[in-house]
Amino acid sequence: MGKKLYKCRREGKIDGVCAGVAKFFGIDVTLVRLIWMCSILFGGTGIVLYIVCMIVMPREPREDFFDGGDGN
């Protein structure tokens, strides 16, 4: 089964969209946030895209969120 794009529960600042995109592509979340902020400041379309992603992207499943470890 292929990769799926989810909003990230752990590293999210607002809704986890940038963290989910970073996890999907395997890049640093800070880089994604900087690119997204530049698209908002210099083009304006980034805010609309972010809101659409907040609505459309599903939240990461709970089984992926928890490590399943003993808490150590």
Three-state SS for 35-70 is HHHHHHHHCCHHHHHHHHHHHHCCECCHHHHCCCCC
Tell me if 20 sits within 8 A of 7, measured CB to CB: yes
- Answer left, alpha or beta for residue 15, where phi above 0 means left and psi between -120 and 50 means alpha: alpha
pLDDT at site 72? 47
- Do 24 and 3 form a contact (C-beta atoms < 8 A)? yes
pLDDT at 57: 86
Q: What is the pLDDT of residues 35-66, one digit of tens each?
A: 888 888 887 788 888 888 889 888 888 765 55
- The model's confidence at residue 67, banded by pLDDT at 50, 70 and 90, is low
Name the pTM for this structure: 0.71
